[in-house]
Amino acid sequence: MRARRLTATLFGVGALALVAVVAGRDDGPTQRRGAAPTARAERGDVRTSLIEPGELHAARSVTLASEIRSNRAKIVSLLPDGSWLDAGQVVLRFDRTPFEEERLKALADIRDAEAATVRAEQERKLQVAKAQEALESARHSVRLAELNLDAFEKGTGALNVREAEVRAAAADDELARARADLADMERMLLQGFVSAEEVERQRGRVEEVGRQSGLEGDRLRTAREIHYPRDLERARNQLEEAQDAVARAEGVLYYTREYYRAVRESAERKETSTREALRQADDQLAKTEVQTPIAGFLVLQEIPLENGKRRPQVGDSVWSGVPIATVPDLSSVQVTAQVREVDLHRIGVGQAARVSIEAYPDLALAGRIGHIGSLAESQADSPWKFFPVTLTLEGTDERLRPGMSARVEFQLENALDVIVVPADAVFVHGDLDSVFVRRGGRITQHEVSLGLSNETHVEVRAGLEPGAEILLEAPSAAVPFRPLPGPKA
């Protein structure tokens, strides 16, 4: 016969008494009371659980780091590691000097940029006004040239040609009359009415009038063919030149407007840039104080330095985004534990657990499984594979700290108000479970049907009554056997 080996990790049994009784030996079929220890079968509870080590950590924590660009954040004050912090409390301060200098420079640059913007606008207005004035002058010149051209075509130019035509016609008429008079005088000379001298004088006059008529004809031709076309072309050229001047003035006005608009916009961009520099300086100044948004303990982190890593100190310059400290939110605490692969089927999300704190043996808190990892992990010093399990505590205590060791007791199956015997009182005979019962000085072997068990106690579902005295060691001699009543399952 050999005792049953049970695999439960932890037990919880209520209303169970263990007693040691001295039993003697009898020569008959019943064994007399001897020195074997005994116990009583009692009604009680059998509780099974799984115990694993764990570690506390905050469900949420805030990381404090520099938000100042580059590594310009030089620590000038820092609270000690482990300090208790209230929400909104300043944890560390950085040197404000470089950012105050940048702010002063930005303010000076803003004043200069504002003045440059004003100057650019005034210069723009002045140059645009000059260009507009030049354009109006050119347009006025066009109107004058148009009037001059119209006046020449319809007035002075045509009148000059007409006057030349009239003078030429008058000269031709006078020449015709002089010739007619000469012809009359030549006839009269034949008749003796005039002298030869008078005829010669008339001939001289005809020659003189002829010369004058030719001159007037030349003047007419000159007026028609030279002066009028020349002066007309000159008037037209003057109009075209005036129109070209208008086009040039319009171009100058356009480019003046565009140029000084660009100058003004450049000055405005410079002003915007300097205002942004001021905003950034103010922003960097605001970031020289680092506050904690939540209450908790200050946990300084190691920061990288030229010669290795260590916790930050006053005088250190830190890079932006590098964690300087964390503040765990202890209003919600979690426990991480590792469960063996073979025990994974015994737990599930939402399952209750009891968490004991190694540092405070009197402190135990309820918790529930919130997450079970999906990948198994190996440990160097164990042949088993483990799955990470995260539990959330349903309460908290001001003594709790992140990183504390814990003892996690996962609540498994329970058998309540059942017949319970010590595990050492159950013996295996082949495929039968049995106990040895002492009654009236006689020992009988009873076959029993077992239920839930843990390392120390077993539930008996059939074959034993409450209050029965049972042996914790098998008797050396054979004893009567009492099977379970009814058909075997």
The CATH code of the domain that includes 71 is 2.40.50
Residue 389 lies in a domain: no
Helix (H, G, I), strand (E, B) or coil at 166: helix
Residues 114 and 201 in one domain: yes
Classify strands 442-447 and 481-482 as parallel, antiparallel or unpaired: parallel
Neighbour tally for 376: CB within 10 Å: 13
Residues 154 and 239 in one domain: yes
Q: Which residues contact 171 (CB under 8 A, 6 or more apart)?
A: 209, 212, 213, 215, 216, 217
Q: What is the CATH number of the domain that holds 183?
A: 1.10.287
Residues 254 and 132 in one domain: yes
Residue 135 lies in a domain: yes
Residue 377 lies in a domain: no
Indicate the number of domains in the chain: 2
Residues 89 and 111 in one domain: no
Model pTM? 0.56
Buried b (16+ CB within 10 A) or exposed e, 474-484: bbeeebeeeeb
What is the distance in angstroms between the CA of the first residue and the CA of the last residue of the chain?
22
Domain boundary among 227, 260, 284: 284
Residues 308 and 265 in one domain: no
Residues 207 and 121 in one domain: yes
Range of the domain at 163: 101-284
How far is the C-alpha of 396 from the C-alpha of 142, rounded, in Å? 95
Residues 147 and 175 in one domain: yes
CA 349 to chain centre: 34
Residues 78 and 129 in one domain: no
Residue 434 lies in a domain: no
Q: Which residues contact 455 (CB under 8 A, 6 or more apart)?
A: 6, 8, 9, 10, 11, 423
Angle made by CA atoms 66, 290, 281, in degrees to the nearest 5: 65
489 residues of the chain, pLDDT tens digit each: 333 333 333 333 322 222 222 223 333 333 344 557 999 999 999 888 889 999 999 888 999 999 998 888 999 999 999 899 999 999 999 999 999 999 999 999 999 999 999 999 999 999 999 999 999 999 999 999 999 888 888 888 888 888 888 999 998 999 899 999 989 888 898 888 888 898 899 899 999 999 998 998 888 898 888 888 888 898 899 989 999 999 999 999 999 999 999 998 999 999 999 999 999 999 999 999 999 999 888 999 999 988 889 999 999 999 999 999 999 988 889 999 999 999 899 899 999 999 999 999 999 999 999 999 999 999 888 888 999 999 999 988 888 888 899 999 998 888 999 999 999 999 998 889 999 999 988 999 999 999 998 889 999 999 999 999 999 998 888 888 888 887 654
Residues 275 and 301 in one domain: no
Residues 77 and 159 in one domain: no
Residue 472 lies in a domain: no
Owner of token pair 């006004």? 129
Q: Which residues contact 126 (CB under 8 A, 6 or more apart)?
A: none
Residue 149 main-chain phi, psi, to 5 deg:
-65, -45
Residue 296 lies in a domain: yes
Residues 174 and 141 in one domain: yes
Residues 106 and 252 in one domain: yes
Q: Both tokens of residue 381?
A: 């010093």
Nearest in space to 96 (alpha carbons), one of 125, 79, 129, 74:
74
